[in-house]
Structure 1
Amino acid sequence: MNIIPTLEEMRSALDNRNGKSLQDKFANSTVAICGLGGLGSNIAVALARAGVGRLILIDFDKVEVSNLHRQQYKASQTGCFKTEALAANLKEIAPYLTVITHTRQIDENNFNELLCNADIICEAFDGAEAKAMLVNSVLEKMPERYLIAASGMAGIDSANVVRTRRITDHFYLCGDEVSDVEDNIGLMSSRVMLCAAHQAHMALRILAEKYEA
């Protein structure tokens, strides 16, 4: 028998685990996730489970078979837009989460429109050009927003070299800052998820007003 807990039951469980004051901060926050691949889909799941109130999901790709080994999608969702598939999966995990989806490519012309309501922005793109565009645009045009980007999570090197660094007061960088999938070293789900966890955890720390990496 499939019984979904009530909002009160789910919130009480989080309050008991983490404290009401902290959960209030999470519940009243909005985090944008730009790119819903190995990084972004895992960031979203972690934040949804933590009780973050609103997630903005931005991507224009569809789920492919090659995504399934490291991204939070089901085989039955192959061919679906990632925004729609991930929103559905998140609703199974956190049914009272507010999910806002934008199935479009973010660029210099629309990033402010898409991100203006976010407290924290997570950069989770695959390509260097898209990463640079988002980071440069947010740092230049939205300097008051917190930005958490990623660099280096490819290959099977030690998990211990993946870290979070605070670059400026509002800009954080997660990863080993060296490895690149273009070097044909592969993408291991465990290492990609580890980097995503760094990003999600830094977002939670910022919401908790703990700003040191």
Structure 2
Amino acid sequence: MELKEEDLLQRNVKGLAKKLKMAKVCILGLGGLGSNVAVLLARAGIGHLKLVDFDVVEASNLNRQQYRISHINMKKIEALKEIIKEINPFVEVDILNIKVSKENIHSIVGDIKIIVEAFDRAETKAMAIEELLSNNKIVVSASGMAGLGSSNEIITRKIKENFYLIGDNYSDYEEYSGIMSTRVMLCASHQANIVLRLILGEEKRGE
């Protein structure tokens, strides 16, 4: 049987395939947030993903990230591209093995408008958000997901016209000394959902 893209996406909301196929999204950081966002967007039928990370898969990643035991010691960009191609081979996936800095962030994202910020370190997150917002990119970020709080505390907030922040607005890793798949994936789902809404023009109805 020949696999067709429409067969993969037949349960998606109708009439959206063309817009999603034309869309490009850059994901900075492929850990608990970024790896899950990438897979969710691939399942939705996104046309083009640019995946950026410089790390390798470790055993400790498996409690919340999309990787498998077979991926341990692989570069995250290569492992995630492999996963995506097994889910939806029609997604165009560009990978970049690089550490993002103030000096290279603009050349990395290029002309891609929607950026998912999915870094672990607070200082890197702050730098990326500042640089990208100053360049009129749309940034979808997340923080405040540690511990085992109620899932109903995870919300999407529109901070600026081009900046969305997901989380519970109070928790952090240092306070709760650990992070679980459930709340990470909740945040990643929020990120992926607002990306889809932005692409499809749904966000204008209010967030």
Letter in structure 2 aligned against 1:206 = L
Computed over aligned residues only, the root mean square deviation of the Cα atoms, in angstroms, reads 1.3
Q: Which residue of 2 aligns with 1:131?
A: 125
Segments of structure 1 that go 5 or more residues without pairing to the other structure are: none
Distance (Å, rounded) in 2 between the aligned partners of 1:124 and 1:170: 16
**Residues 147-166 of structure 1 mapped to structure 2, 5 A cutoff:** 147-166=139-158
- Quick one: which of 96, 101, 111 aligns to 2:105? 111
Secondary structure at the counterpart of residue 73 of structure 2 = coil
Could you tell me the TM-score, scaled by structure 1's length?
0.92
Secondary structure at the counterpart of residue 49 of structure 2 = strand
Contact 1:30 1:117 in 2 (8 A): no
Do structure 1's residue 79 and structure 2's residue 45 form an aligned pair? no
Please identify runs of 4+ aligned residues in structure 1 that moved more than 6 A.
none
Do structure 1's residue 182 and structure 2's residue 166 form an aligned pair? no
Q: Cα deviations across residues 102-128 of structure 1 (Å, max 9, x unaligned)?
A: 100111111111112323100001110
- Quick one: which of 188, 194, 199 aligns to 1:207? 199
Distance (Å, rounded) in 2 between the aligned partners of 1:23 and 1:65: 36
Do structure 1's residue 7 and structure 2's residue 5 form an aligned pair? yes
Compared with structure 1, are the counterparts of its residues 4 and 38 closer, same or farther at alpha carbon in structure 2 (3 Å cutoff)?
A: farther
Distance (Å, rounded) in 2 between the aligned partners of 1:81 and 1:69: 17
Letter in structure 2 aligned against 1:42 = N
Compared with structure 1, are the counterparts of its residues 80 and 202 closer, same or farther at alpha carbon in structure 2 (3 Å cutoff)?
A: same
Tell me the CA shift for residue 210 of structure 1. Answer: 1.9
**Residues 57-76 of structure 1 mapped to structure 2, 5 A cutoff:** 57-76=51-70
Segments of structure 2 that go 5 or more residues without pairing to the other structure are: none
Distance (Å, rounded) in 2 between the aligned partners of 1:35 and 1:176: 20
Letter in structure 2 aligned against 1:28 = M
Secondary structure at the counterpart of residue 83 of structure 1 = helix
Tell me the CA shift for residue 80 of structure 1. Answer: 0.4
Distance (Å, rounded) in 2 between the aligned partners of 1:91 and 1:154: 30
Distance (Å, rounded) in 1 between the aligned partners of 2:195 and 2:119: 17
Distance (Å, rounded) in 1 between the aligned partners of 2:168 and 2:5: 38
Secondary structure at the counterpart of residue 139 of structure 2 = strand
Distance (Å, rounded) in 2 between the aligned partners of 1:99 and 1:112: 19
Q: Which residue of 1 aligns with 2:13?
A: 18
Contact 1:57 1:83 in 2 (8 A): yes
Distance (Å, rounded) in 2 between the aligned partners of 1:197 and 1:8: 23
Could you tell me the TM-score, scaled by structure 2's length?
0.95
Contact 1:29 1:119 in 2 (8 A): no
Distance (Å, rounded) in 2 between the aligned partners of 1:94 and 1:131: 29
Letter in structure 2 aligned against 1:23 = A
Tell me the CA shift for residue 10 of structure 1. Answer: 3.1
Distance (Å, rounded) in 2 between the aligned partners of 1:68 and 1:200: 20
Tell me the CA shift for residue 4 of structure 1. Answer: 6.1
Compared with structure 1, are the counterparts of its residues 184 and 116 closer, same or farther at alpha carbon in structure 2 (3 Å cutoff)?
A: same
Q: Which residue of 1 aligns with 2:43?
A: 49
